[in-house]
Amino acid sequence: MDVKLNEVYNESCIEGLQKVVPGTVDLAFADPPFNIGYHYDVYHDERDDSEYLDFTRNWMAGVKRVLKPSGTFWLAIGDEYAAELKIIATKELGFTCRSWVIWYYTFGVNCVKGFSRSHTHLFHFVCDPKNLTFNSDDPAVRVPSARQLVYGDRRANPKGRLPDNTWILRPQDMAEGFQPDDDTWHFPRVAGTFKEREGFHGCQMPEQLLGRIVRCCSNLGDVVLDPFGGSGTTFSVAKKLGRRWLGFELSKDYVERINERLDRTKEGDPLDGAADPATSAPSTADGRELSQVKKRPRFVRPRDKESEAAATIAATHKSQQKSLPATTMPSSLFDEPPAE
């Protein structure tokens, strides 16, 4: 049986991809389980290294087989396996890596004994670097340049420019230092309180991120494949942007909810989320200081050693803020909404 377009199948992509006619897909986007013990409905995300890497080889080879010679493959992956998966894709399967993008996000999962996770790797692979889709003139892909925004420079290209491994406290305060047009992209993760959150899947990707990939690397009517459907973001974006889609997802429950999401989605609908995250939240200069917030009586827990240390760091930051220019103030370390 060949699979049909505009369908999401409730089966493993390993078997499903075998049913796709070879050489028929324009763009594949894959956000596989990261093998970090995340809790999914039916998938156990904690395999032996060798088992996980064999699984990866298997599904990636399936993706390669179904892509057109001009096809593009984007892979989202965490720190743990980024290096191994890039080698499998390029050295074993023959993809060419065009870009290694860092997706930088706020509202990452809080980490107590290490730095909280705030990025995911996005690999942009192609089958043939001389024959590929890259819509660099699409105005929805381009962003305003600093020459346009900051310097009023007559040499600025009126079309803007195409869209760093940097430690950034708040991009809102970094108008010059952090531009969304480099290979570090900032989109907020779809956190628990966000209205676009579907609510049944903890790894829902932002539509704006998929929007950039789909607009740039496919054309109207093209076929977009996602082997790991999840909450259905790739399909929703493909439908909104007039592409055809195809996908797989192991959980029956997720597939039902993906179909509900797709039923609510129409071609031409706007993508969820803010297109420009730097203007969607107040800058520190426009924010409220903690001292301006009316105090409410609350229970104060006796301090243990860890909170004593945190209080000392907070006090040090506060005193440093007074001598720092507004653009680099680190006050937000303490005023971001709590991580999930």
Ligand X SMILES: C[S@@+](CC[C@H](N)C(=O)[O-])C[C@H]1O[C@@H](n2cnc3c(N)ncnc32)[C@H](O)[C@@H]1O
Q: Which residues bind ligand X (CB under 6 A)?
A: 12-14, 31, 33, 40-41, 43, 201, 203-205, 227-228, 230-231, 233, 248-251, 254
- Supply the minimum distance, in Å, between the C-beta of residue 164 and ligand X: 24
119-126 and 67-77 strand pairing: antiparallel
Question: Any bridge partners for residue 125, and if so which?
Answer: 73, 97
**Residues 207, 17: contact at Cβ < 8 Å?**
no
CB 195 to ligand X: min, Å: 16
Q: How far is the CB of 63 from ligand X (least distance, A)?
A: 12
Phi, psi of 263 (to 5 degrees): -65, -30
Least gap, CB of 86 to ligand X (angstroms): 18
Q: Which is nearer to ligand X, 162 or 203 (CB)?
A: 203
- Sheet containing 25-30: which strands, arranged edge to edge? 7-9, 244-248, 223-226, 25-30, 67-77, 119-126, 96-104, 184-186
Q: Nearest residue to ligand X, using CB?
A: 230
Minimum CB distance to ligand X, residue 93 (Å): 18
User: Is 109 in a helix, a strand, or coil?
Assistant: coil
- Which residue carries 């942007």 as its tokens? 241
**Beta strand residue intervals within the chain, DSSP E:** 7-9, 25-30, 67-77, 96-104, 119-126, 184-186, 223-226, 244-248
- Nearest CB to ligand X, comparing residues 72 and 251: 251
Distance in Å, CB of 159 to ligand X, minimum: 30
Q: Considering beta carbons, is residue 43 or 134 the nearer one to ligand X?
A: 43
Choice between 33 and 171, CB closer to ligand X:
33
Q: With respect to ligand X, which residue has the nearer C-beta, 46 or 176?
A: 46
291, exposed or middle or buried, with CB in 10 Å at 0-12, 13-18, 19+?
exposed
CA distance 287 to 336: 11
Q: Which is closer to ligand X, CB of 106 or CB of 231?
A: 231
